[in-house]
Amino acid sequence: MLYGEYGILTINGQGGYTYQLNGGVNTDAITSKETFTYTLISSDGGSSTANLTIDLHPQIAGSVNDDSVHSTAYDDTFSMGVGADTLVYNLLADDNTGGNGSDIWSDFSVAQGDHIDVSALLVGWNGSSDTLGNYITLSYVGGKHRGVY
């Protein structure tokens, strides 16, 4: 058994595996994909190393209240329901998306007061709307707003 940050990986003798998420894991606490590195060694001494990545990809649903949820490293799908909801993006990794996946918020509504908080991703931004495009890209694809942060 291999213990990861969010669960346990068990590998059987035939090379198959199972992954069991730890009890009580809050989806807001998932900030990265679960990656296990392994090495195969042949009888002649040759070896090969690879990674097994477990994609936990949560489906996040809100309530009838004003919910606040956090994006994760996955391509999250949000359905937040009614209320003035907030989706928060944090800096999860040092890459062009801040470690966040490409998310879809299926019922985003300005009329209900929904908003997206990307302030933690704007490290080094000078506050000028002229340079905001260096940090955020929004598009409308297939009837849905898409964002890249």
pLDDT at 78: 85
Residue 142 has pLDDT above 60, yes or no: yes
Mean pLDDT in the chain? 81
User: What are 87-133's pLDDT values in tens digits?
Assistant: 888 777 666 666 677 788 888 888 899 988 888 878 777 777 777 77
pLDDT at 28: 63
List the chain domain ranges: 2-54, 59-148
List C-alpha distances in Å: 62 to 30, 55, 78, 122. 17, 21, 8, 26
DSSP category for residue 22: P
pLDDT at 84: 93
Residue 27 has pLDDT above 70, yes or no: no
- How many Å is the maximal CA-CA distance in the chain? 66
